[in-house]
Amino acid sequence: MLDRFTERTMDLEYTQEQEEFRHELRDWYEENLPDGWLEGERNIPEDKDEREQFLRDWQRKLHEGGWAGVHWPEEYGGRGATLVEQLIFNEEKARVDPPPSISVIGTDFVGPTLIAAGTEEQKERFVPHILDGEEVWCQGYSEPESGSDLASLQCEAIDEGDTYRINGQKIWTSYAHYADWCFLLVRTDKSGPKHHGITAVLVDMNQDGVDYEPIDQIVDDSTFNHVYFDDAVAKKENVVGDIDDGWRVAMKLSAFERSALTQAFALEKSFDELVEYCKNTKRDGKPLSEHTTVRQELAELDTRIQAGKLTYYRNISKQMKTGEPGPEGSMDKVFTGEIKQDLERFKTKLLGPESAVWDEGSPGGEWQTDYLQSFGTQIAGGTPDIQRNIIAERVLGLPKDAKQ
Amino acid sequence: MDFSLTDEQRRMKETVGGFFEDEGGVELARRQMDGEEGVVDEVWDAVAEMDYTALTVPVEQGGLGDGMLYLALFLEEAGRYATPGPFAETLGFAVPLIDELGTEEQKKAYLTEVADGEGRFSVALHDDVNETPPETVTMEAKVTDDGYVFDGTKPLVPYADEVDSLVVATKTRDESGYGGISLFVVDTADVETTPVETLDSTRPLYEVEFDGLTLDEDALLGSLHGGGDALRRGIDRLNVCGSAMLVGGADEAVERSAQHGNEREQYGHPVGRFQAVKHRITDMWMNMQGARSLVYNAAWRLENDAQDAPRAVASAAAFTTEECSNVFGDDIFNHGGMGFTWDHDAHIFLKQARTWETFLGTPEEHRERVAEARLS
């Protein structure tokens, strides 16, 4: 006979308690989002300084409401939310699409890394100001000559006793134009293999030796930057982890980065909006939603979105039981990233000739921007090619790429 | 919210996988393809010995009372080796249907036999080889004073010669012209079967001829004219079963390709080092995982009578049959010329996937059901 005993079994519904968490968050958003936001009036100031003030104010509000660090431990001012609560938080966030978080690098990447690998002094000095938006963070990783091959980075830190003198250049640095601090990877030893001799250090962005220059992106915006270090100074006490051991620290950070991201919920929302558009827009005398080709495409996108979301659920559920993300987690970025691009491209095609108009007021204008943005989203944090290498090598055990 | 397998489910899956491997793995499918007699009998007896034939039979009829999710896990492992046998038809279609519609006598007669490994079922659904049931069920069972009279041919009946009974979908109407779909249990000894040359020869198909066969009330499953909804649910279950088997096969194909990528050397490197190969295998794996998620979700929703179960099934069937076909096709490409040979296993699974891809709804038809659910 089969061996069997009772055990909590698969359940795709949320518990009462989890639904209450959702409602608490929903109520908070309703009371605290900027006026008109939920009705679609999403006015974020254009001017750089006003924009920064608006975003910092929003971050402070999130913090006061206790929603700035839902996944953070309670002792660091977080909510200590379970993985399912974090999942609900992400679902709801996708639903209301609130103003972007100016502290996202801090809350999702730097904070958790400092909590895991920082000194007591570093935790005390930096962690509290991440959640309340007092200090905005950026992360200095890529360099002009070190993209996918990040470990070849050359930005140099010279040992000067209690401090490092830093010279070099970083690229694709998001939030550098707002940031107070940078989580920076520097070269402290050139003699060994490239993964050795990298050090992670926290660098004050408000000093003479640091400068930045915005990079114009294909979406006609500039959210990331060149950052130049010209005899910049960092205190040695701000090294995270051991000297020359920054690669390991950085990989830990990137593990946080990957598990924090999923586009699945945003995809669902975007798809719902598309469905409404198709129902309410006529072509050839009947709604788009009654055209066979449109129905086929919508159903295929819906199916792929569900496949992505359910696989994400499966990974999170596994992580709740084992404490470690499952191998399914590795596919989220590639899988949902490609759906996002196909979805946005399909939307712009529905417009027909109007697709040529790229004007902020028109739906097509926004859709074209979303489509173009989907390239950036897929490339940021590791291109699809690099992600596929990671899956192939770490999950499927295939041979490593030719490396020097 | 918990979308992971329990420890017990994982153990069961491992045990079942090990069991089918010990029974011969893909060799069973090969022997069936070679036309060897008695392979299905041999497999079925071994499965019954392990009590797996009792999986979905209710406890009252001597079964284990498990639902669709458990069955999907079992079939994933059976599908890993393209194992021949009417598992989906018997455990996934007939048993839940008889449990839902059958009289106490019918349940006692049929379900206990299935649980004991003594009864096997298949399904006679299609009437037109180019149309998808149930909308197109046309064969009539005439309601007469002598009983129900069957005349006609069901052209695509899986395993008809290897099972004891068929669930047959018919059209019935009364004198006023009112009618609907009626389901019957028919003994295969009472019908003529002719083998069909099939693309997938692990799963034989037969043309089944009814030549004035007359049956009484005992053969009717559920109410007269009222079997349409139950049939639709049965077809949903069958589609999930087929998809579950393909996911198991796809998991195995990924492993086969990955192993080849590590072992086969050209230009002085294992071919799995070249990104064209490496990334193709990664895509196979991702699509297999996506299919698995959709299949578990559909099985769970069927088991829990969720309202949106039909949409979940349609999504799972559309995605799994298409993407697993691609996975098996890619497995052929990864193996180069060897992949195109009869001796290599990839084609066995490709042919199975391509058959499920259209057997009970084309991907386009499944997608139309998804669209209907999402756009109404």
The pLDDT of residue A252: 73
Tell whether the model's pLDDT for residue B284 goes beyond 70.
Answer: yes
CA dist list (Å): B62 to A237, A318, B58, B115, B235: 71, 34, 7, 6, 25
**CATH number for position A231:** 2.40.110.10
Residues of chain B with CATH 2.40.110.10: 123-221
The pLDDT of residue B135: 86
Helix (H, G, I), strand (E, B) or coil at B170: strand
The pLDDT of residue B177: 87
Q: Specify if A370 maps to a domain.
A: yes
Asked about A257 being catalytic, the answer comes back as yes
Q: Specify if A362 maps to a domain.
A: yes
The CATH class of B123-221 is mainly beta
The pLDDT of residue A362: 77
Q: Which one of A86, A102, A118 terminates a domain?
A: A102
- Percent of chain B's residues with pLDDT above 70: 100
Q: Which one of A229, A251, A273 terminates a domain?
A: A251
> How far apart are alpha carbons A99 and A62 in whole angstroms?
11
User: Does A176 lie in the same domain as A57?
Assistant: no
User: Does A390 lie in the same domain as A265?
Assistant: yes
User: Does A228 lie in the same domain as A271?
Assistant: no
- In this predicted model, what pLDDT tens digit does every residue of B11-27 receive, in sequence order? 999 999 999 999 999 99
pLDDT (average), residues A368-393: 93
User: Does A311 lie in the same domain as A225?
Assistant: no
Chain A residue with the nearest C-alpha to that of B55? A2
Taking CB atoms and an 8 Å cut-off, how many pairs form between chains A and B? Answer: 172
Is the reported ipTM for this assembly greater than 0.95?
yes
- In this predicted model, what pLDDT tens digit does every residue of B311-370 receive, in sequence order? 999 999 999 999 999 999 999 999 999 999 999 999 999 999 999 999 999 999 999 999
Q: Specify if A65 maps to a domain.
A: yes
Q: Tell me whether B276 touches chain A (CB under 8 Å).
A: no
Q: Which one of A398, A400, A401, A403 would you mutate to disrupt binding with B, by most B Cβ within 10 Å of its Cβ?
A: A398
> Which of B258, B314, B315 lies at the smallest CB-CB distance from A397?
B258
**How far does the CA of residue A223 sit from the closest CA of chain B (Å)?**
31
- In this predicted model, what pLDDT tens digit does every residue of A55-112 receive, in sequence order? 999 999 999 999 999 989 999 999 999 989 999 999 999 999 999 999 999 998 899 8
Contact assessment for residue B156 and residue B193, using Cβ atoms and an 8 Å cutoff? no
Tell whether the model's pLDDT for residue A382 goes beyond 80.
Answer: yes
CATH of B228-375, one of 3.30.2320.30, 1.20.140.10, 1.10.1740.10, 1.10.357.10: 1.20.140.10
Helix A264-280 × helix A83-96 angle, to 10°: 30
The pLDDT of residue A3: 43
Tell whether the model's pLDDT for residue B374 goes beyond 60.
Answer: yes
For A118-152, give the DSSP string: --HHHHHHHHHHHHTSSS-EEEE--BTTBSSSGGG
Q: Which of A257, A268, A266, A386 is nearest to A334 (CA)?
A: A386
- State the amino acid at position A97 in one-letter form: D
> Which of B9, B269, B285 lies at the smallest CB-CB distance from A396?
B285
Residues of chain B with CATH 1.10.540.10: 7-87+112-117
Q: Specify if A4 maps to a domain.
A: no
> Which of B8, B50, B319 lies at the smallest CB-CB distance from A5?
B8
The pLDDT of residue A360: 79
The pTM assigned to this predicted structure is 0.95
The pLDDT of residue B376: 85
User: Does A291 lie in the same domain as A246?
Assistant: no
Cβ contact, residue pair A302, B7, below 8 Å: no
CA dist list (Å): B309 to A351, B298, B314, B359: 33, 6, 9, 20
**How far does the CA of residue A280 sit from the closest CA of chain B (Å)?**
11
Tell whether the model's pLDDT for residue B105 goes beyond 80.
Answer: yes
User: pLDDT class for A46, splitting at 50, 70, 90?
Assistant: confident
User: Does A329 lie in the same domain as A273?
Assistant: yes
In chain A, which residues have their Cβ closer than 8 Å to the Cβ of B72? Answer: none
Q: Which two tokens stand for residue A147?
A: 């993209």
The pLDDT of residue B127: 97
- Percent of chain B's residues with pLDDT above 90: 98
The pLDDT of residue A364: 79
User: Does A265 lie in the same domain as A385?
Assistant: yes
Contact assessment for residue B290 and residue A305, using Cβ atoms and an 8 Å cutoff? no
Range of the domain at A181: 137-251
Contact assessment for residue B288 and residue B250, using Cβ atoms and an 8 Å cutoff? yes
Peptide bond into B134 cis (omega under 30): yes
Cβ contact, residue pair A398, B296, below 8 Å: no
> How far apart are alpha carbons A198 and B342 in whole angstroms?
53
Tell whether the model's pLDDT for residue A22 goes beyond 90.
Answer: yes
User: Does A182 lie in the same domain as A69?
Assistant: no
User: Does A245 lie in the same domain as A277?
Assistant: no
User: Does A283 lie in the same domain as A382?
Assistant: yes
User: Does A236 lie in the same domain as A179?
Assistant: yes
Cβ contact, residue pair B368, A296, below 8 Å: yes
For B210-239, give the DSSP string: EEEEEE-GGGEESSTTB-HHHHHHHHHHHH
- Nearest-Å Rg of the Cα atoms of chain A is 23
Chain-wide mean pLDDT for chain A? 92
The pLDDT of residue A225: 96
For chain A, give me the number of helices (H) and strands (E)? Answer: 12, 10
Tell whether the model's pLDDT for residue A284 goes beyond 60.
Answer: yes
The pLDDT of residue B98: 98
- In this predicted model, what pLDDT tens digit does every residue of B223-273 receive, in sequence order? 999 999 999 999 999 999 999 999 999 999 999 999 999 999 999 999 999
- In this predicted model, what pLDDT tens digit does every residue of A146-183 receive, in sequence order? 998 999 999 999 999 999 999 999 999 999 999 999 99
CA angle A282, A284, A290 (to 5 degrees): 60
Cβ contact, residue pair B294, A307, below 8 Å: yes
- Percent of chain A's residues with pLDDT above 90: 80
Long-range contacts of B43-50 (CB under 8 A, 24+ apart): B43/B83, B43/B84, B43/B85, B44/B85, B44/B117, B44/B120, B45/B117, B46/B19, B47/B85, B47/B87, B47/B117, B48/B116, B48/B117, B48/B118, B49/B117, B50/A2, B50/B19
Residues 6+ apart with CB under 8 A from A215: A171, A172, A222, A224, A225, A226
The pLDDT of residue B293: 98
> How far apart are alpha carbons B328 and A396 in whole angstroms?
17
**How far does the CA of residue A46 sit from the closest CA of chain B (Å)?**
37
In chain A, which residues have their Cβ closer than 8 Å to the Cβ of B294? Answer: 303, 306-307, 310
Q: Specify if A71 maps to a domain.
A: yes
Chain A residue with the nearest C-alpha to that of B279? A388
**CATH number for position A353:** 1.20.140.10
User: Does A298 lie in the same domain as A189?
Assistant: no
- How many CB atoms sit inside 10 A of residue B230's CB? 19
Contact assessment for residue B250 and residue B327, using Cβ atoms and an 8 Å cutoff? yes
Q: Tell me whether A148 touches chain B (CB under 8 Å).
A: no
- In this predicted model, what pLDDT tens digit does every residue of B165-193 receive, in sequence order? 999 999 999 989 899 999 999 999 999 99
What is the enclosing helix (H) or strand (E) of B316? helix B309-334
Contact assessment for residue A143 and residue A154, using Cβ atoms and an 8 Å cutoff? yes
B2 strand-pairing partners = A11
pLDDT (average), residues B277-287: 98
**How far does the CA of residue A208 sit from the closest CA of chain B (Å)?**
44
> How far apart are alpha carbons A271 and A29 in whole angstroms?
22
Domain total in chain A: 3
User: pLDDT class for B296, splitting at 50, 70, 90?
Assistant: very high
**How far does the CA of residue A286 sit from the closest CA of chain B (Å)?**
14
Q: Specify if A401 maps to a domain.
A: no
Q: Specify if A197 maps to a domain.
A: yes
In chain A, which residues have their Cβ closer than 8 Å to the Cβ of B368? Answer: 295-296, 299
Cβ contact, residue pair A303, B293, below 8 Å: no
**CATH number for position A32:** 1.10.540
Q: Write down the CATH superfamily of domain B7-87+112-117.
A: Acyl-CoA dehydrogenase/oxidase, N-terminal domain (1.10.540.10)
The pLDDT of residue A320: 87
- In this predicted model, what pLDDT tens digit does every residue of A259-277 receive, in sequence order? 556 899 999 999 999 999 9
End-to-end C-alpha distance for chain B, whole angstroms: 27
> Which of A2, A279, A396 lies at the smallest CB-CB distance from B281?
A396
Tell whether the model's pLDDT for residue A1 goes beyond 60.
Answer: no
Residues 6+ apart with CB under 8 A from A119: A237
Q: Specify if A107 maps to a domain.
A: no
Tell whether the model's pLDDT for residue A372 goes beyond 90.
Answer: yes
Contact assessment for residue A244 and residue A189, using Cβ atoms and an 8 Å cutoff? yes
Q: Tell me whether B371 touches chain A (CB under 8 Å).
A: yes
Q: Which one of A199, A227, A251 terminates a domain?
A: A251
Chain-wide mean pLDDT for chain B? 97
pLDDT (average), residues B139-156: 96
Listing from the earlier edge strand, what are the strands of the sheet with B147-158?
B141-144, B147-158, B205-215, B192-196
- In this predicted model, what pLDDT tens digit does every residue of B54-94 receive, in sequence order? 999 999 999 999 999 999 999 999 999 999 999 999 999 99
User: pLDDT class for A253, splitting at 50, 70, 90?
Assistant: low
Which of A193-202, A286-295, A313-322 is predicted least confidently? Answer: A313-322
